[in-house]
Amino acid sequence: MNENPGVDFSDDLWLGGRLTLRQPRHGQRSGTDAVLLAASLAAPAGTGLDIGAGVGAAGLSLAMRARETGVSGCHITLVEISAPIATLAQHNITANGLSAYASVCNVDILDKPARRAAGLGNQSADFIVTNPPFYAPGTVRASPNAEKSRAHVLHPSGTAGWVRACLDLLGPHGVLSLIHIPEALPALLGAMAGHLGAITIIPVHARPGQNAIRLLVQGRKGSRAPLQVASPLVLHDTCGAFTPQAEALHRGEAFIGL
């Protein structure tokens, strides 16, 4: 990490140093959730959206991979509601030389007229990755930091509303990949029913023998393939160090999911 004393952001190295992310020093910061989300698409291609992108950790990891692997025509829009955070996302695109692969859209994804006005058309995305806010209003103590609170606490439309917005934007046969907490699974599957098939659930465990702390959930629009639960991902060994798989994921050298 390259710290910048006296300013309210830090410049952090990702993907083994191949990507630099400027993000707030305090408040909502990208971490392992974004790493896992980016790793859930092994071969990004076509038009993609990173919804609730923050400073762009997941989306720019995918854009970097597309550039490194020579994928032509891949473009990822970082969709972020916060104007200051969207500004940092744009900085990260430019600083990493990814302007040909990524752009920023500062809009509330749950506001249908606003997203149409911003150029986000229904059924326009070949793939979507998203790390939604996890918690319903009133169920957790909101952070005094407005950006962090917004990233953690859902709009009153809830998990189902967020997923429906993603499904509106996802094109035929497109792939939706998201990360969430296990207790959200009934709401996620309810919102996906009749729209996504080939749903794969990957439980994510902090340590061996512990309950899952996250779920990666992925599905394909219009597919009739059955749901499956994949092998779990364990992040740390019993001593607290990253497992070899988790270490490789953080370096951008391994992938999970489709």
The predicted pLDDT at position 27 comes to 80
Instruction: Quote the number of domains for the chain.
Output: 1
Residue of higher predicted confidence among 146 and 232: 232
**Euclidean distance between CA atoms 167 and 219, whole angstroms:** 11
Please state the three-class secondary structure of 25-47 as a single string: CCCCCCCHHHHHHHHCCCCCCCE
Whether 159 is covered by a domain: the verdict is: yes
Whether 162 is covered by a domain: the verdict is: yes
Structure tokens at 140: 């957790």
Whether 66 is covered by a domain: the verdict is: yes
Domain housing 225 = 9-250
The answer to whether residue 148 scores a pLDDT higher than 70 is no
Model pLDDT for residues 169-227, shown as the tens digit of each residue: 999 999 999 999 999 999 999 999 999 999 999 999 999 999 999 999 999 999 999 99
pTM: 0.90
Whether 108 is covered by a domain: the verdict is: yes
Whether 255 is covered by a domain: the verdict is: no
**Residue of 201, 86, 96, 85 whose CA lies nearest to 146:** 85
CATH number reported for the structural domain that contains residue 211 in this entry: 3.40.50.150
**Euclidean distance between CA atoms 36 and 2, whole angstroms:** 23
**Euclidean distance between CA atoms 116 and 120, whole angstroms:** 5
Cα of first residue to Cα of last residue in the chain, in angstroms, is: 31
The predicted pLDDT at position 155 comes to 57
Mean pLDDT of the chain: 90
Whether 1 is covered by a domain: the verdict is: no
Whether 2 is covered by a domain: the verdict is: no
3-state SS class at 67:
helix
Whether 168 is covered by a domain: the verdict is: yes
Confidence of residue 26 (pLDDT cuts 50, 70, 90): confident
Burial class (CB in 10 A: 0-12, 13-18, 19+), 141: exposed
The answer to whether residue 131 scores a pLDDT higher than 80 is yes
